Amino acid sequence: MSTELASTSKGKLTRQTILSKAVDIASKEGLEKLTIGRLANDMDMSKSGLFSHFGSKESLQISTIEMASDIYRNAVIRPALKAPKGLARLWAVCEYFFAYTEKEIFSGGCFFATVTSEYKSSPGMIRDLLALRMRDWLNFLASIAQRAKDKGELSAEVDPQQLAFEIQSILMGANWCHQLFDENHIMTTGLEAMRQRLRQLAPPEAHTTLEMTFLERTLDETP
């Protein structure tokens, strides 16, 4: 697919600007409503101009998912990877996720929460792509948990896949509460849930490290 821009009435618009808008719409209303016509209207562009970028509704939707993955990677995964491997990194992932939710980087909250709910019962390419991305994410969480186990920061009995499921549940739950109830203290509730769960899973000799990790401010507030 070409990344070059067709000449439009808003010549300064880049493909990235269009997709950022697309991600934002989809985070609120889902991907199904994301038609070329709707996006052209919202961006004051011609349908033919947009069509030359994306060709079809499905292609636009797939590009939107890839754009959302990039934004998520930059907001949560990349900054968390700066934290030391193991427990500190697991904690950093949670902190960055809650920050991503609270800052409303996407105005409908977590893009992936919205669209996976929307497509869960719709077999096809979009659902397959979303399931793949979400499986990658759960495996990413599990691999960090495995590393924490290897370092002795989590007990030998911890099942990394089980913990990945639990972390993902708490992150999604916090996003859901924040969106549905307009609750701003949900980051506190979510972090407290993670804090308590990790205290249970860390062996006694790792508790000092754990409490130090909780105290350290891993969030990098620079834009």
Contact footprint for a copy of itself (CB under 8 A): 27-30, 107-109, 113-114, 116-118, 120-122, 127, 130-131, 134-135, 162, 165-166, 168-170, 172-174, 176-177, 179-181, 189-190, 192-193, 196-197, 200
Sign of CA dihedral 207, 209, 214, 215: positive
Rank residues 52 and 155 by Cβ distance to a copy of itself and give the closer one: 155
C-alpha distances out from residue 171 to 100, 153, 181, Å: 11, 21, 15
**Minimum gap (Å) between residue 137 Cβ and a copy of itself:** 11
CB of 121 to a copy of itself, least distance (A): 4
Nearest residue (CB) to a copy of itself, 83 versus 141: 141
| Residue closer to a copy of itself, measured from CB, 48 or 196 | 196
DSSP string, 45-77: --HHHHHHHHSSHHHHHHHHHHHHHHHHIIIII
- CB hemisphere CA count around 90 (13 angstroms): 30
- Residue 12 or 103 having the CB closest to a copy of itself: 103
Q: Are 134 and 69 in contact (CB under 8 A)?
A: no
